[in-house]
Amino acid sequence: MKRKPQVIPPIERFRWYFRINLVTDCWNWIGAKNRGGYGYFYADKRLIAAHRFSWEILYGPIPENLFCLHRCDNPACVNPSHLFLGTLQDNRRDCVSKNRQAKGSETNKSSLTDKDIVDIRRLKNTFTFAELGDIYDVSSEAIWSICHRKSWKHI
C-alpha cells in the first residue's frame, strides 16, 4: 500500500530557508532569489516574495495598495521586525533618502558612461553642445544639462 506524501505546512518549510545573522539580526533568505536579491517562496499554490510571506505570517495580509519595505535595506532579509508597509511613494522616498537610487550609467536608459560625462565636461569649451551631441549620439539639450550639472550631478 502506497503512503500519501507528507505535506509540510508552508510556515514550517519557510523556517528552513533563512539563517539569522547575529550581528545585524537579519534573517537572510538562502532559498531561491531574483536578480535583485529578494527571496521567493512557494506557498498555498502561489509564488510569493519571502519577505512578504514573513510579514503575513506575523501581521496578516498586506493591503493591495501597499508594499512591504525593508528598514535594513537588505533584500534577502525576512525578519518581520525589519519590515514595514508603505506606498510606492514611501518606497521611492526611502530609496532616495538612503541614496540607493540608480544614477547615471547604472540606469537602464543611459547610453553614456561616467567617463563620457567627464570627457563631455572637459570638451565643452572646444565643441558646441550640438557637436558634442552628435559625437555622443545624444541631444544638445542633454549635453547642456550635463555641462550645467543639471543631470549626472553625482560625477
pLDDT tens by residue, 64-103: 999 999 999 899 999 999 999 999 888 888 877 776 665 5
Same structural domain, 90 and 48 = yes
Q: Is residue 2 part of a domain?
A: no
87 and 26 in a single domain? The answer is yes
Rounded CA gap, 149 and 13, in Å? 51
Domain tally, the chain: 2
Higher pLDDT, 30 or 155: 30
pLDDT, mean of residues 4-24 = 90
Q: Report the Cα–Cα distance between both ends of the chain, in Å, rounded.
A: 71
